[in-house]
Structure 1
């Protein structure tokens, strides 16, 4: 018994400095969507000055596929040592409801909510459509002809466009892509007629005159896009806007002291003046909730999305 006690004491003494010295190396932040998209942009902007606040760099790694499942599952399955964090996004609220994956927010140690975004319906500068009414009227006369690019069935931008179609009896031809960047490229290249993206994701293209935003799926106009009408203002109101969200999480069972350290560190990055200025420049609406508030938000989100998914035939 005495030998066991000595051994346990030795093990504790050996392990203690590891926790005290954390972090000893850079931290990885897994982003489940492609480089250049809205989620990737906010992640890289957030951690740009990470070393100033936590003493090490945070390196973004993009792991795409499965409508975000691949990357978010990689975060869930990562070693729980505090050296891997992940961006979790809107899809986590729909996977189980759609029967795509068993993962949900309950599988993570939540850190914080970062952002909420509203969807935009956009066309390229050479489009035959100059208003949302043009799109709706043409689509009603030609069901299934108008192609609409998005980031996957059940993703926020798809549900935003699909809810518009359901409410106003319009049939689009939905074309999925692996993130906002390839969706924008398809729109610019004329491979799709419309794109449903975060409005912030097309800000630069809009300001450069490369795309025209026909409407935003929100209750009010976006402050960075005062000339873009809401769906209701464009004549096609829907019951409730579908908003995208992004947040930070860790695998389960990360030691409590490391969780607390990362919560504090990422909050400092969130409040970094350079990050907040860049978010404003990009049209990103920042919304902070701590781990408890984030959990409550996600629980409510599942309840809100159930009838939406049912309306578009995606609820399992």
Structure 2
């Protein structure tokens, strides 16, 4: 009898305890935010992800009447900052900027200390940007067909901003679908890889659009094909890979916002709504476009679906192409 009473008492206590934090969290959500928010960017200052986070942080901070402070925690291919966010209190006061690279990291690294799906919660998919196949202005290839003919006549070298980064993924996707053998040369960032392409030390890059478009417009690089489903307004004369006769080479780098798992749904929704409103402001959308991004403004459910699909897609490609971390 005592055992049964003890069990019932334990159940009642558990129910009471679970009810208490729910009410407290509900109150916290209605008052959120009541103090400054830390926005972790797991990359160095000045990059696309950092600039996007600062744009969103500035506008949401104005709306929330609280400072949104960007905290750059670069290292380990973006995993250092992501792990820090994943282990932070789930109270809404820690945000994390992530990119496509984080979805790839789930299969690229075998011993990650965090999981996107288990330890973090999707808040908003903010913007996306395609990649573009570029060659030196002195390269005789004027279109994708001529480039592929080159690549089949001799093994070409392709640069990237590092193993597992979007430009590396673009290179592997190109090689996979065109059945090419290429030599991948990883660099410590997009700028040094582009410098070597400009100098003629490598043959091509499937580059992030904003990084390459400046050199394309200056006439120093030639853009042959773009990885988006449709042409991009920054380079309207550049056809897609599909238009050029090579389907399957579709890839969009993106940036999004996550918070630690367990953050109250009301807070997640509140942050998502504010971030999406910020993207609709004229000056913000214009600056986003100038970066080469297209604002997407998708909420938690849609972003979670994108994450799930990208993790699965790149797990297969990482395995097929035997992509290794740098």
Native 8 Å contact 1:120 1:215 kept in 2: yes
**2:54 corresponding residue in structure 1:** 44
Post-superposition Cα deviations, 1:154-183, rounded to whole Å, max 9, x if no partner, equal 333322221211222322221223444454
**2:292 corresponding residue in structure 1:** 283
Partner SS state of residue 309, structure 2: helix
Native 8 Å contact 2:25 2:264 kept in 1: no
Native 8 Å contact 2:241 2:250 kept in 1: no
Native 8 Å contact 1:154 1:314 kept in 2: yes
Native 8 Å contact 1:95 1:101 kept in 2: no
Partners of 1:128 and 1:86 lie apart in 2 by 44
- Which of the residues 245, 248, 261 maps onto 1:239? 248
Post-superposition Cα deviations, 1:27-57, rounded to whole Å, max 9, x if no partner, equal 2222223333332332233334333212123
TM-score using structure 2 length = 0.78
**1:98 corresponding residue in structure 2:** 108
2:114 matches 1:141: no
Partners of 2:250 and 2:32 lie apart in 1 by 42
**1:84 corresponding residue in structure 2:** 94
**2:135 corresponding residue in structure 1:** 123
Partners of 2:35 and 2:98 lie apart in 1 by 23
Shift of 1:185: 4.5
Native 8 Å contact 2:126 2:276 kept in 1: no
Shift of 1:216: 0.7
**2:231 corresponding residue in structure 1:** 221
- Which of the residues 295, 301, 311 maps onto 2:310? 301
Post-superposition Cα deviations, 1:194-234, rounded to whole Å, max 9, x if no partner, equal 22222233333333334322211233222332111222444
Partner SS state of residue 127, structure 2: strand
Partners of 2:27 and 2:251 lie apart in 1 by 47
Equivalent residues in 2 for 1:8-23, closer than 5 Å: 22-23=32-33
Q: Unaligned 5+ residue runs, structure 1? A: 1-7, 9-13
Larger CA deviation: 95-104 vs 213-222: 95-104
2:72 matches 1:62: yes
Larger CA deviation: 296-305 vs 85-94: 296-305
TM-score using structure 1 length = 0.80
Partner SS state of residue 118, structure 1: strand
Q: Unaligned 5+ residue runs, structure 2? A: 1-16, 18-23
Partner SS state of residue 97, structure 1: helix
Native 8 Å contact 1:53 1:268 kept in 2: no
1:185–1:239 Cα change, 3 Å: same
Partner SS state of residue 297, structure 2: strand
2:283 matches 1:271: no
Partners of 1:246 and 1:292 lie apart in 2 by 16
Post-superposition Cα deviations, 1:95-136, rounded to whole Å, max 9, x if no partner, equal 333344442233212211112222211234455655444543
- Which of the residues 307, 320, 323 maps onto 1:311? 320
Partners of 1:80 and 1:242 lie apart in 2 by 32
Larger radius of gyration: 2
Post-superposition Cα deviations, 1:72-114, rounded to whole Å, max 9, x if no partner, equal 2222123434332111111232233334444223321221111
Partners of 2:65 and 2:199 lie apart in 1 by 43
Equivalent residues in 2 for 1:144-155, closer than 5 Å: 146-155=156-165
Partners of 1:205 and 1:45 lie apart in 2 by 25
**Alignment RMSD:** 3.4
**1:108 corresponding residue in structure 2:** 120
